[in-house]
Chain A
Amino acid sequence: MADLSKDTLLDMYRNMVVIRRLEEKSAELYQQGLIGGFLHLYIGQEATGVGAVWALGEDDHVITAYRDHGIAVSIGIEPKYILAEMMGKTTGVSKGKGGSMHLADKDKHFWGGYAIVGGHLPLATGLALRARYKDENFAVLCLMGDGSTNIGYFHESLNMSAVWDLPVVWMIENNQYGMGTAVDRASGETELVKRAVGYGMKEGPRVDGMDVLAVYDATKEALEYAKKNGPILMESLTYRFVGHSMGDPERYRTKEEVHEYQEGDPIRIFGDKLIGEHKVTQEQLDVFDREARDLINEAVEFATNSPNPEFDDLFVDIYS
């Protein structure tokens, strides 16, 4: 069980709330036409991102797919730089070139979100290769959606990480739908962690992805295992409360199903736990919520007042 100070627990809670408020605001800005393109929200999955990222040690690395806002916030990128990126401003994390799906911060060992499903998995293998090559003690946490487990990258990446004993934690954020296709309509074996067996890899747990501390504990353990022994495959069972992206008519699931999962909102569950077991008051949690709203409003202001890129910016960073 996680041995975390009360302050740390409160910070994790804050982190989850900031993600939720960021995502709600992003949706609003999208509807106002201030964010364009495609927008994939993390609402419902906060416990997975926060639990997993908080388990990382200082030297560990993380890489993820396109649903990356929650990971970016958890790794410590300030929301204002995230929102600026989503709004295409020069103050954004990639100066507006990437947008919502390609957030990154190398200094924080966050190697980014990737829009091509599964495309980042072999990159995680490569990042982890360094640890063995230079005899360094770190692990790579590679988050991916359940959809990415059926593309060839998955097979090649997991196999090679096993053959070379690379320190990778392959974590499937199983939100039960690859876009609109349910796991059992896309995967012969729906207990996705079982695939580890075929690669001679450690089969990790299927953790309750709505319980931030459960995710934290399981990831911590997996990272330790990976550093000592090699790769491990684990699943975080979660659910997105909103569509795959903005404008998803969600014909593939019922409203009742979504409501049922919303009953188990990961932020509320953690809040109740803090109140019940850690003598935190509802008033304190409400303060965090207000602070998060203020933070996001300031971020919107920052992003709104930031300059747009100009024509010449098209030609920056083509060659090193």
Chain B
Amino acid sequence: MAMKTLIEAISEAMDEEMARDERVFITGEDVGPRGGVFRATMGLIDKYGAGRVVDSPLAELSIIAIGIGAAMAGLRPICEIQFADFIHPAMNQIINEAAKMYYRSDGQWPVPMVIRAPYGGGIGGGLYHSQSLEAIFAHVPGLKIVVPSNPYDAKGLLKSAVRDPNPVMFFETKKGYRLIKGEVPEDGDYTVPIGPVNVLREGDDLTVYAYGIMAYYTWQAAEQVADEDGIECEVVDIRTLLPLDREGILESFKKTGKALIVYEDNLTMGYGAEIAAVLSDDGFEYMDGPIKRLAGPDVPGVPFSHPIQEAFMPNPKKIAAAIRDLAGY
């Protein structure tokens, strides 16, 4: 095992999948010589050539739509959207085409593609470089939505995404790209299955559900409250937002009876509501307290200025406070 950053793990996954399967190619803005704005594709053009690492014009609609067409024709595109915030011009292609193609063709035209998009705030990106959009897409059956929280999962899940016969949206925490480090096997092919949740930390007092960087922060907060208050949280990393692992989500709740759901996206109509609904529908018998959510506030964007950006973002301190509140119920 070797310590890698989240972005190194993502680069490795693409590199290995391109080596494994010559149908796999990458397209996006400045993915070639520049190596992508976050350097996720650095060096891949030297290894695989400009025919497989394709700089696109500045045109998100086409980056994704070309991916859909190429996938229908038997290729395995990885489409990079530079920031998740830039994805909106391609909404029609994702929702009306990628998600529906297999269904409308009676199962004849699968769309095996990956859409990678860095999401989230905390880096001073301001209103148009900080959004979390997973909940919007998680409302669309036909898509798979993956948000990894650590390098091991990121690599294994991205490899699974490339091999998956469906359109997979892969949201990467840009704040966590170099912040989050973890062990990744040195060699040997491994994948992490799309679907099941992952228990990052076991505990009996309450369950905290999170994904992406919030799962990382939650783990930190859980360690802190264990040390300082003796509260033992179970931390469940959702990892795959669609399709949702209802069983995995319930399993922990059956043990603890208390749930806090943490996400960075705006609170209202967010992903937490769905988790809460699962717990309410199928876990009512086990409920031992209110289901709580800690999320970004309902404001139109993550503002630029540092103090109000931080006011927006959930962080380990806020998560720890929410855990203490719920534990005391």
Contacts and interface: CB of A to CB of B under 8 A. Distances in A.
Nearest to B30: A180
Contact of B125 (A38, A95, A315): A38
Interface secondary structure of A, over-half rule: loop
A36 B299 CA distance: 21
Most-contacted residue by chain B among A100, A147, A314 (CB, 10 A):
A314
Contacts of A314: 297, 299, 303, 308, 311-312
A36 B306 contact: yes
A96 interface: yes
A101 interface: yes
B188 to A, nearest CB: 32
Contacts of B86: 116-117
Contact of A115 (B33, B123, B126, B300): B126
Given A101-B126, A115-B128, A252 B306 contact: no
A315 B126 contact: no
A133 interface: no
A127 to B, nearest CB: 20
Nearest to A247: B37
A2 interface: no
Given A151-B59, A252-B33, A314-B299, A99 B304 contact: yes
Contacts of A97: 126-127, 301, 303-305, 308
Given A101-B126, A180-B34, A152 B307 contact: no
B306 A88 contact: yes
A186 interface: yes
Contacts of B312: 314
A37 B123 contact: yes
A186 B56 CA distance: 7
Given A37-B125, A37-B126, A308-B307, A181 B300 contact: no
Contacts of A318: 298-300
A272 B196 CA distance: 69
A311 B308 contact: yes
Given A97-B303, A115-B128, A151 B29 contact: no
A179 to B, nearest CB: 5
Contacts of B311: 310-311, 314
A118 B58 contact: yes
A310 B126 contact: no
Most-contacted residue by chain A among B37, B126, B299, B307 (CB, 10 A):
B126
Contacts of A180: 30, 33-34
A25 B307 CA distance: 23
B243 interface: no
Interface in A110-132: 115-118
Contacts of B37: 179
Interface in A177-192: 178-181, 185-187
A151 B89 contact: yes
B144 interface: no
B304 A116 contact: no
A61 interface: no
Interface string B280-308: 00000000000000000111110111111
A106 interface: no
Interface in A42-60: none
Contacts of A309: 303, 305, 307-308
B304 A152 contact: no
A99 B58 contact: no
B55 interface: yes
Contact of B30 (A92, A118, A152, A179): A179
A152 B86 CA distance: 13
A89 interface: yes
A97 B124 CA distance: 10
Interface string A71-110: 0000000000000000011001001111111100000000
A31 interface: no
A251 interface: yes
The 9 residue pairs across chains A and B that have the minimum distance between CB atoms? A88-B305, A37-B124, A96-B305, A99-B304, A36-B124, A150-B57, A115-B128, A180-B34, A186-B57
6 contacts: A38-B124, A99-B124, A180-B34, A181-B30, A310-B307, A318-B299
Interface of B: 29-30, 33-35, 37, 55-61, 85-86, 88-89, 123-129, 297-301, 303-308, 311-312
Given A96-B308, A308-B307, 17 more contacts: A36-B304, A37-B124, A96-B303, A97-B127, A98-B304, A99-B304, A116-B85, A116-B128, A147-B57, A151-B60, A152-B59, A152-B89, A180-B30, A186-B57, A310-B307, A315-B299, A318-B299
